[in-house]
Amino acid sequence: MKFSASILVIVCSLLSTAAPAVNAQSQDQAAQESYIRLHYVKQEHMVPMRDGTLLHTAIFTPRDTTQSWPILMKRTPYSCAPYGIEKFPSSLGPSEHFVRAGYIFVNQDVRGRFLSEGKFEQVTPHVTDKKTASDVDESSDTYDTIEWLLKNVQGHNGRVGMYGISYPGFYCSAGMIDAHPALIAVSPQAPVGDWYFDDFLHHGAFFLAHAYRWLNGNAHERTGPGIDRPVPFTLPSTDGYKLFLDAGTISEINRRYLRNSVPFWNDMMAHPNRDEFWEKRNILPHLQNVAPSVMVVTGWYDAEDLYGSFKTYQAIEKLNPEVSNVLVVGPWIHGGWSSTEGDRLGQVHFGSKTAAFYREEIELPFFERHLKQKDVPPAAEATVFETGSGVWRTFDRWPPAEVRKSQLFLAKNGALTSDPPEPDAADDGHDEYRSDPAKPVPYTQEITPRMTVEYMVEDQRFAGRRPDVLVYQTDVLTEDLVMAGPLQANLWVSTTGTDADFVVKLIDVQPEGTDSAKLPDAQIMVRSEVLRGRFRNSYMVPEPFVPGKPAQIRLELLDVMHRFKKGHRVMVQIQSSWFPLIDRNPQTFVPNIYLANPADFQPATHRIWRTRDLLSHIEFGQLP
């Protein structure tokens, strides 16, 4: 193959600009690994649990023995690599600051993962009444590990902390239940809370793109202890919209692309409703007798575990009123506070390096205060970043005490108003659209088989221009509007079918020349969520729609802290597909939606009602 001179110039230019960045990153990692190797001693142990199971545990102790150090622990299903006492990682602890501050770092493979013994269970159910040594869970494994560390590790100060993001965040939550007396401070970050609403399921709707990628990479059954990661199956194309649509059904996706080899996928398919299988994986009701100091961390743009974060904070507040429990929310993607600078997401800019600020000014001081008893000011009850304006704000409670309940109502001609609609004989009181499962609304403009992190702030004009998406917006705002706290959509809907999904998106319509969106009239998504209509009254007992009969939909969109600036508009978009982020609803009621046949997928016309008797609106907290 011959290349033109111009192509060669372009290729060489790309290589010359990319290589220095890659080399600089490798050099930084090598320098960090060298620092850890020089300043820490590594040990590896198989730590016994009360039932005799041994858990692989890596321990890094400071070489400085002139003082005692607190223990900071992470329990993970994602591997404690690199394995071997002669091999050192390029990072330890929550951020780069902790290695130099000095801690005893403990990383542990949880039960049934990598070099640990035992059987792994997804989101291990909590055992409330432990009667025998065989009654084990993540709470007991954490307790037993801490007890062993205190007796077998030299140089500690008797104080233990835990941290973890996502799945390790869940192990933080589970590990601080009936906490060991030495467990002083815990930071669950983006923790799984209830897997019927986190990650793969949102109000009964299946997050197909995310579930496929994560389960394919992390949930293959292991044959025994080992250090190798499972090799995921490779999709034949990056066009996820076409791949999953052409497959036709969830069963066929499983057969073609997962080869029926992922046990938890099959478990999910057997439990479409919120039955005991899901209920026992809800850690939230068990968050009692937790560690004395807790810091829950999450990001406004966490596409995976935003539900778990807010519900974990709320559960601790309710069940442990005496505990110091604080909340930190920044403008971050899932784990972005640890892995990015936090200055931008997609085309949205936040005005500062928010994640770097958090790591140095919030996270490190939290552990230094509680584990080293340093004279550091306590964190505010709620430290949250106000999107839309780019400023940090602190409150003595969350939601803020000063918010007042406000509403925006869907009105005729695509209006969104602060007052309920007036009776109008010339208005039929509804808007409608035809939803066709054969042509679902894409969730992103990007060609990808994955759930992208940028979708949460993506410009929504590509969707709003479709005939199967309803659009409502306010007039141009004459003053700033600040939404803070829980956001909920209340819709009255009807359909010609017997089942339907309803997706609601809250959008900031930005005029030309704004800082965060350089395109005129960009429709930047602020929050979005979906409800599988069959679960509108109960997640345990699904029920079909009666064709043509209005029914109420109540959809929690979780919390926001966003400033809609003067000159902007507030927009709401409503649609019934969001592909392949969520699987397609056949719009024909079937007992198990995952077992729907191709013939079950039928077009239907959906109506959104907006009369005095059938008020469709969104509810939110408004800050003065």
Q: Report whether pLDDT(344) > 80.
A: yes
Question: Could you tell me which residue, 445 or 6, shows the higher pLDDT?
Answer: 445
CA distance 105 to 79: 15
Contacts of 343 (CB under 8 A, 6+ apart): 349, 350, 351, 352, 353, 354, 355
Per-residue pLDDT tens over the stretch 61-81:
999 999 999 999 999 999 999
Mean pLDDT value across residues 165-174: 98
> Do the Cβ atoms of 127 and 134 come closer than 8 Å?
no
CATH 2.60.120.260 for domain 404-623: yes
Q: Which residues pair with 28 in a beta bridge?
A: none
Q: Report whether pLDDT(352) > 60.
A: yes
CATH superfamily for 201-279 is: alpha-amino acid ester hydrolase ( Helical cap domain) (1.10.3020.10)
CA distance 385 to 399: 13
Q: Report whether pLDDT(358) > 50.
A: yes
Q: Which CATH number fits domain 5-194+281-395: 3.90.79.10, 3.40.50.1820, 3.40.50.150, 3.40.1050.10?
A: 3.40.50.1820
> Do the Cβ atoms of 280 and 255 come closer than 8 Å?
no
Mean pLDDT value across residues 351-368: 98
Q: In what order do the strands lie in the sheet with 293-299?
A: 40-48, 54-62, 104-109, 69-76, 156-165, 183-189, 293-299, 324-330, 382-386, 391-395
Alpha-helix residue ranges (DSSP H) falling in 219-353: 240-247, 250-253, 263-269, 276-279, 306-319, 336-339
Strands 156-165, 183-189: parallel, antiparallel or unpaired by DSSP? Answer: parallel
pLDDT value of position 426: 83
The structure tokens listed for 564 are 């809609």
Q: Report whether pLDDT(13) > 60.
A: no
Distances (CA, A) of 365 to 303, 375, 396, 585: 27, 9, 19, 47
pLDDT band at 185 (very low <50, low <70, confident <90, very high): very high
pLDDT value of position 16: 46
CA distance 344 to 362: 19
Q: Which amino acid is at 30?
A: A
Mean pLDDT value across residues 149-155: 98
Q: Report whether pLDDT(427) > 50.
A: yes
Q: Report whether pLDDT(6) > 50.
A: no
Q: What is the mean pLDDT of the chain?
A: 94
Stated pTM of the model: 0.94
Instruction: Scan for tokens 């897997």, then name that residue.
Output: 195
pLDDT value of position 516: 52
Report the number of secondary-structure helices (H) and strands (E) in the chain.
14, 25
SS (H, E, C) 503-540: EEEEEEEECCCCCCCCCCCEEEEEEEEEEEHHHCCCCC
CA distance 530 to 538: 15
CA distance 322 to 309: 20
pLDDT value of position 515: 53
SS (H, E, C) 335-383: CHHHHCCCCEECCEECCCCHHHHHHHHHHHHHHHHHHCCCCCCCCCCEE
With a pLDDT cut of 90, the percent of the chain lying above it is 91
Tell me how far the alpha carbon of residue 260 is from its chain's centroid: 26
Q: Report whether pLDDT(483) > 70.
A: yes
pLDDT value of position 422: 86
Q: What residue segments make up the domains of the chain, in order of their start?
A: 5-194+281-395, 201-279, 404-623
First to last CA, the chain: 66
Q: Report whether pLDDT(11) > 60.
A: no
Mean pLDDT value across residues 33-60: 98
Per-residue pLDDT tens over the stretch 188-227:
999 999 999 999 999 999 999 999 999 999 999 888 999 9
pLDDT value of position 20: 61
With a pLDDT cut of 70, the percent of the chain lying above it is 95
pLDDT value of position 519: 66
